[in-house]
Each structure stands twice: as C-alpha cells, then as structure tokens.
C-alpha cells in the first residue's frame, strides 16, 4: 500500500487512495487510475501499481505492460526542469543531432534519463511545431530556437545557476 512518496503530502496520498476507492471497481478505469497516479506523483511509483492491481484485479504484469506501452507514462521521477529536444525533420536537417550530443555531454545523461541531482530530465519529441526556428529545444514551457552547441551550453548553464 502506498504510504510515502518523496515530495508528496499525506493529503495527496489520501486523495489518490480516494480515487482508487471511487474508480477502482469501474471496468476500464486502469488508464484513468494510472493517469491519476502520474498526475499526483509526477511518475508512477511501483507501490501505486500494486495498489491499482489490488483494487482493479488487473495483474501487476498486465499493468506494467500498459505503463511501458504508452509513452505518456513514466516510472521514474522527472527532474525539476524537463528538456524536450525536437528531432523532427526540420530540426534533424538543421543540426538537432549536435544539440542532442551537447545536451547529453553537458547533463551527463541520455534521452529519457534524469540527472543525478534531479534537476534535468531529457526527452526526445517528434516535433515541437517550431520548424522555422530549427533546431529547437523546450525547457519546461520556454522554447529556444536557432540553436548551436554553444548556445545550448549557455542555456543549460543559465538554468543551473537558477
């Protein structure tokens, strides 16, 4: 039973338990329950999967299958700042690979990882819709375009200082 998640209050955990009690017996509630857990915790903790399994009767292995199938779900906490690098055609043609290499080197992580200090999570996306600014990254809700490796390094440095 989920009892303690770092950064989550006892009240929020109780709210999750209430959602489980209210919706857990509904057929087809699995995705809703997983979305609720992720919204609350920022990811889906193992304990939440076990609780969802217990309430819904869906085997833990099947829930893992759903979580790993859909890219919207994460089983690891996200960093304070989420960096999305666009790897769409315009960005690819205009040097996204060099920007990605810079990010991986600066952050010492690969795509889908979070830095050891929990500050940055690096994600790859198909398109950010800013093709005229290619190559592009988005940090949280801020977009940075016309990037070079040097500009990218400066942006990361600025976020580290804040």
- Domain definitions of the chain by residue range: 10-69, 81-161
23: confidence class by pLDDT, cuts 50, 70, 90:
confident
Q: What's the pTM value of the predicted model, to 2 decimals?
A: 0.74
b (16+ CB within 10 A) / e for 85-98: bbbbebbeebebee
The three-state secondary structure class of 144 is strand
pLDDT tens, position by position, 52-63: 999 999 999 999
Return the CATH number of the domain spanning residue range 81-161. 3.40.30.10
Q: Considering the chain, what percentage of its residues have pLDDT values greater than 70?
A: 98
């Amino acid at each position: 039973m989920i009892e303690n998640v770092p950064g989550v209050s006892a009240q929020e955990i109780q709210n999750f338990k209430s959602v489980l009690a209210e919706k857990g017996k509904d057929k087809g509630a699995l995705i809703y329950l997983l979305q609720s857990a992720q919204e609350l915790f920022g990811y889906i903790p193992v304990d939440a999967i076990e609780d969802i399994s217990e309430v819904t009767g869906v085997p833990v292995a099947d829930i893992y299958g759903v979580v790993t199938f859909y890219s919207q779900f994460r089983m690891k906490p996200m960093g304070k700042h989420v960096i999305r690098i666009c790897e769409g055609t315009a960005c690819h043609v205009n040097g996204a690979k060099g920007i990605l290499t810079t990010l991986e080197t600066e952050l010492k992580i690969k795509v889908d990882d979070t830095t050891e200090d929990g500050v940055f999570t690096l994600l790859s996306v198909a398109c950010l819709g800013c093709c005229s600014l290619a190559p592009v990254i988005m940090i949280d809700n801020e977009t940075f375009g016309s990037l070079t490796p040097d500009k990218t390094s400066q942006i990361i440095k600025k976020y580290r200082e804040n």
